[in-house]
Structure 1
């Protein structure tokens, strides 16, 4: 007679409403997000006869302890002065990053070339 109260029956948890909410959230985020194209390349058409008149680009090889312009070692503080006669007005300078180059090293090189009269492209 000690147990006159029947044991409580556990209520079952319905997952239907949880699945509905997750589906609605998934649908919301899929419809409101924008997808970027990471592999997209900007291709600009060349001007007629532009290949003959343009000078060859100047290659800068950047490594953690060395800086080379067209395979010749150059100091960082003299980089802009060394590139000016090579690239000329409106020329192209391509910076190739070596293995192990950190972001600060690249920022230092770009800061040294700030205000240069030539175009600068960093190669991946």
Structure 2
């Protein structure tokens, strides 16, 4: 008959190389992660706290492809000059309304553009 050697106890695999790999991946992703700076937009709500509206109308409708100031199409670059002609103070109310085809990013771009021009009375309505 055949003579087999006695069974040796099975050796357990070492987890050290796997832990090393996980640690290296963790360090890699921590070092390559890009941490962005949060930006804020000064915005009034369209409710009761928005203040009293006076002066000529300043309604900016935001669409996916363009802007309309008081119902007339206008380019984003020309919007600051057009709004300055309708305002006495940079804090006067400007009503922003997103169209059904405008996404949130487009609304934020317009708000940032107007905020950078010094307008502080931006009000977003639905």
TMscore range, shorter length: 0.5 to 0.7
Runs ≥4 in structure 1, deviation > 3 angstroms? none
**Higher relative contact order at CA 8 Å, sep ≥6: structure 1 or structure 2?**
2
Q: Which residue does the alignment assign to 1:105?
A: 106
Q: How many residue pairs get matched?
A: 79
Structure 2 CA distance, aligned partners of 1:96 and 1:117?
Answer: 16
TM-score, scaled relative to structure 1: 0.54
Structure 1 CA distance, aligned partners of 2:84 and 2:120?
Answer: 8
Structure 2 CA distance, aligned partners of 1:58 and 1:81?
Answer: 13
8 Å contact from structure 2 (residues 61, 69) kept in 1: yes
CA RMSD of aligned residues (A): 2.6
SS in 2 for 1:114: helix
Q: Give 5+ residue unaligned stretches, structure 2.
A: 1-45
Say if 1:42 and 1:107 are closer, same or farther in 2 by CA, change over 3 A: closer
Structure 1 CA distance, aligned partners of 2:86 and 2:115?
Answer: 17
Q: CA deviation at 1:64?
A: 0.7
